[in-house]
Structure 1
Amino acid sequence: MASAKKAVKAAKPAKLKQKSASLPSKKSSGKPADKSATKPARTGRKGAPDVANADPTLFDPLTPGEAADALRTLTEDRRLSSMAKVGRYRVICTEPLVVKPPHWMAGHRLARVVAYDYAADRCVDACVDLDAGVVAHLELTKSQPMLSRDEEALAVSIALVDDRVREKLSLGDSPQMTMHYWGRTPTEIAYSRRSAAVVFGRNDGHASLVAVVDLLDNQVTQVVPAELW
């Protein structure tokens, strides 16, 4: 009996050794397999808009009818009721505007309208949605946009009929160019009012006289020889 018990006791370590052999070895287990390797590679962001499929006609110049609709929509906006009522404003430009997706206005026919309100001395920069017939964006600032062609022509016509300008013009002098002008000192009227400088000279390019025109009151405020300008 004693020998049988000893045999049983001797068999226990063998049984434990057999169990330990069935367990995975720490050295041979290694790191678990990378789960990302089994996932398919992403081909792109889901639902990303395709800009290449944009309508090319959105970049076409505005037709006269579209430009008129954009200006009408802008002047009917309640935020610009005072400008439309007084009527002292100039349209600087009307041009097509295109925005990229995912903007909510992507794919809409848009028009950008820039105008200068003389009564309030402010610049109006607006985006008009021609499809919806609304002003989608409106920005009112004290900035000075470039002169429109109408403003340039008006400045030349005012300078040509001014007596001081006519007295100082030499034979053969004519308007060479018209540019937007700001006064350099606060004492000048052009420092705080929208003005244009009309440069007179000969056909050979030699400037002789500069006339500063106040576009708000339509009058010449300065007549300066070109060499002193």
Structure 2
Amino acid sequence: MFDTNEITRIVGLQSKSYTLLKWFGENVGAGGFSFTVSHGASSVGEAATEWLLRNAHSLPADSRPDENDWNEFGCLFASYLTTSFTLVEDAAPTYRSRTGCYCVFCRRLRSVSALRVRTPDKKAGGKAMEMKRLYVSGLAAEQDTPLAGDALTALLADRDLAPAVSYATYGQELIRRSRFVSQGEGVLVLWREIAWINGKLNKRFALSADAILASEKTVAAAIIAAA
């Protein structure tokens, strides 16, 4: 089950990281950012955290996390660059430098204005379903009400329950993204299931920790009823 304080904190970090990405897209060309440190064999999340900390003085105060949240914030910020968006092929970097790092993170950040929303591929739907299956079966195990294969399949096929399953699973994957940067394009499918309507983003949608918690309660009740 979700910890209320943790999921609230992570949703807040997700919101700040996206706000920062939009701000950076509008301001990267102005310069003043340091890309001089080589990240070598660092992971994308580690590179993001190092860069953000080193450039924190240049970032808007309302998009900076609390002191103890930089690692998770860095992973969430990097996940937008590597999972949610794709880089236009052969795009020239918005921010140019004769020296510096050209790791995946820094290259994409310098070319942020050339990023485009990624369209999930044909396999992404299956990956999203597997995420849901793992989440629901894990929640059932936590409640000491394990579901047999047929019962789990039937629950996942329930259209009335589907929105809650998608929302709660997205919350689970968001926590994982805050630690591991990316879970692949299945996450994009989950996002579209909860935030899109009629084939496009619902502009009124705002990710909510309360909605994630409520969705989990709905799924938990359905598990008990199906056991």
User: Same fold by TM (over 0.5)?
Assistant: no
Higher relative contact order (CA 8 A, sep 6+): 2
Considering fraction of residues, name the structure with more helix: 2
Considering fraction of residues, name the structure with more strand: 1
TM-score range, shorter chain: under 0.3
**Structure with bigger gyration radius:** 1
